[in-house]
Amino acid sequence: MKCIVKGCNNHSNQGVFIDKMCSPCHEMITTGEIGPTDSFLGDMKNEINRLKEKCDRQATILRHLTPENFPDTLFIHSVLGQRDQNNMPEKLMIVPAYGVDFSYIYERTDKTIGPEW
């Protein structure tokens, strides 16, 4: 008997089955934690993650199109000075919220944070 989860290729002679579902699929469905898999569940997890990223990008666009509706969103007002090899400016002017009449100036420190540094 083959596992009933779409895309799963496990058969009952290959491991433990719970009713008509293989143990890995059963575990993923009951716990909500999807491990590495080539089944439909893995594809769905990847699709959900892709859509979450897309929603996050669209939310950022929306915040910048209608800033008056998002009072706690800061905005880069302008860039000042020369740019470095990574195209980062010397200074950024940032307003803390839409409609305020002042800016903060942030200066580049040349300290770089990241896994490769």
| Integer Rg of the chain from CA | 24
- Residue 100's φ and ψ, nearest 5 degrees, are -75, 155
What pLDDT, on a 0 to 100 scale, did the predictor assign at position 9? 82
Asked if pLDDT for residue 38 goes beyond 70, the answer is no
pLDDT score, position 50: 94
Mean per-residue pLDDT, 46-54:
92
User: What CA–CA distance (Å, rounded) separates 70 from 66?
Assistant: 7
Q: Average pLDDT in the 59-88 region?
A: 86
Q: What is the pLDDT of residue 96?
A: 85
Rounded to two decimals, what is the model's pTM? 0.46
State residue 39's pLDDT score: 65
